[in-house]
A and B are shown apart, each in its own frame.
Chain A
Amino acid sequence: MWAFIHKLGSPKWFYGISAKLQPWFWAAAALLLVTGSLWGLAFAPADYQQGNSFRIIYVHVPAAFLAQSIFISMAVSGLVFMVWKIKVADMAAAVMAPLGAAMTFVALFSGAVWGVPTWGTWWMWDARLTSMLILLFLYLGVIALRGAFTSRDSASRAASVLAMVGVINIPIIKYSVDWWYTLHQPATFTLTSRPTMPIEMWLPLAIMVLGFYSFFIALTLMRTRSEILRREANKRWVHDLVKGRVEETR
């Protein structure tokens, strides 16, 4: 187990193993997202009160899950980078941030569109919506910090610290609907109890959530690979790799 983790820290080894894993995650993402969207948008039953506007859930909930999970992954990568000096962790954290920001935006935007027909307003300064907006600002802060330093090491350390401190916002988002009175309803899905919707509604949603996660993993592997090549461009193994490719094509 430890040997595997140590190997994962080597950019060269990570570059090799991610090449093998990547196609599986892309295939899973494509299959799950197509199945989930078709099932959720066309075949799942409509809600008894909201009718068809309830189908926004099939985009809103997976995007919101991913927005929070990516931030946690970024904070864990930041910790691994700061304490154990593993550079691959920092590269992964750097490439995750834009996708996380995009997912937060998708969750906020789809929530606003959903809010108009159900609540009668697209925005309300309630605890859930506000803490989610803060998450978007945290993502933008992490991205901006990476661009603000001329030295890559300072940029990585500043971004890691912001990600680790910002992770405090995640439990606030999760429990905001339980701790305070909010316009947003409490969670439909929890780990401890049965979902408060029938299986023909939550099964497509579960497929969409898995699809979003597969997409995240596939995209992170792909982008980390190009980040490795970019940062290790002067290393011997990258030179050999490129030379090998060039000779192949001749």
Chain B
Amino acid sequence: MTPKRKQKLFVILGLVSLTAVAVGLTLYALRANINLFFSPVQIAQGDAPLERQIRAGGMVKEGSVLRDPDSLDVAFTVTDYVDDLEVYYSGILPDLFREGQGVVVVGELQADGRMYADKVLARHDENYMPPEVAQALKEAGYSPADFQAKAAEVGKRLEAEGVPQANEY
């Protein structure tokens, strides 16, 4: 490689790495805004604003869905297996909505810790399987372990960052 080409290569690599650092720092500074939703852990710790439209996400807790037989009103609990969030909603739920399924709810958090949702979106995990396999897994006692691991990791990270716990306020 001639010295001129070498110099050019270094200039380009320098330019690209500087841009990468700039983009990285911007994304790091904006990380709270890039997260699509608050998890119940974050809401319990008081990170989410009250009475403003926010998004919260987690799994629909097994056995928590209550439907009003005369209307479209529904109440359920969103959990990340560390903390819970009570959600009230009136409207049509997506087809994939069910207990044990990931959801993102859009709505306002009330001072009493409940959330009134305007919209409920279903989240899908990265596992696909034919119905027979799903049945076999269910019989073998399958649990959404992936999500649990992620929630535990977030909890640990918040603790390490020294975010004050709810009971310290």
The residue that A185 contacts in the complex, of B20, B34, B125, with Cβ under 8 A, is: B125
- B16 A164 Cβ-Cβ under 8 A: yes
Residue in chain B with minimal CB distance to A190: B126
Residue in chain A with minimal CB distance to B20: A168
The residue that B130 contacts in the complex, of A45, A57, A119, A165, with Cβ under 8 A, is: A45
Residue in chain B with minimal CB distance to A120: B94
B contact residues around A48 at 8 Å (CB): 129-131, 133-135
A22 within 8 A of B: no
In this complex, the member of A45, A120, A161, A197 whose beta carbon has the largest number of chain B beta carbons within 10 angstroms is: A120
- 5 cross-chain CB contacts under 8 A: A161-B12, A164-B15, A165-B19, A180-B34, A188-B128
- Return the CB mask of B103-141 against A: 1 if under 8 Å, else 0: 010000000000000011111111111110111000000
- B8 A198 Cβ-Cβ under 8 A: no
- A186 B12 Cβ-Cβ under 8 A: no
B contact residues vs A (CB 8 Å cutoff):
5, 8-9, 12, 15-16, 19-20, 23, 27, 31, 34-37, 39, 57, 93-96, 101, 104, 119-131, 133-135
In this complex, the member of A164, A168, A200, A201 whose beta carbon has the largest number of chain B beta carbons within 10 angstroms is: A168
- A54 B128 Cβ-Cβ under 8 A: yes
Tell me if B's interface is mostly helix, strand, loop or mixed. Answer: mixed
A181 within 8 A of B: yes
Residue in chain A with minimal CB distance to B130: A45
A contact residues around B96 at 8 Å (CB): 49-50, 118-120
- B130 A201 Cβ-Cβ under 8 A: yes
Residue in chain B with minimal CB distance to A129: B36
The residue that B128 contacts in the complex, of A47, A124, A183, with Cβ under 8 A, is: A47
B contact residues around A241 at 8 Å (CB): none
If A48-B133, A119-B121, A119-B122 touch, whether A181 touches B12 (CB-CB below 8 Å) is no
If A118-B94, A119-B122 touch, whether A197 touches B127 (CB-CB below 8 Å) is yes
- Chain A residues 125-173 with CB under 8 Å of chain B are 125-127, 161, 164-165, 167-168, 172
B contact residues around A126 at 8 Å (CB): 36
B contact residues around A50 at 8 Å (CB): 96, 124, 128
The residue that B23 contacts in the complex, of A84, A168, A182, with Cβ under 8 A, is: A168
A contact residues around B125 at 8 Å (CB): 185-186
Residue in chain A with minimal CB distance to B125: A185
B contact residues around A49 at 8 Å (CB): 96, 101, 124, 134
| In the complex, the 6 A-B pairs of residues with the closest C-beta atoms, listed nearest first | A120-B94, A48-B134, A45-B130, A197-B128, A126-B36, A48-B131
Q: Chain B's nearest CB lies how many Å from the CB of A204?
A: 12
- A198 B130 Cβ-Cβ under 8 A: yes
A117 within 8 A of B: yes
A46 within 8 A of B: yes
B contact residues around A127 at 8 Å (CB): 34, 36
A222 within 8 A of B: no
Residue in chain A with minimal CB distance to B6: A83
Q: How far is the CA of A118 from the CA of B128 in the complex (A)?
A: 13
B contact residues around A198 at 8 Å (CB): 129-130, 133
Q: Chain B's nearest CB lies how many Å from the CB of A5?
A: 13
- B20 A124 Cβ-Cβ under 8 A: no
A21 within 8 A of B: no
If A84-B5, A198-B129 touch, whether A181 touches B16 (CB-CB below 8 Å) is no
Q: How far is the CA of A13 from the CA of B141 in the complex (A)?
A: 62
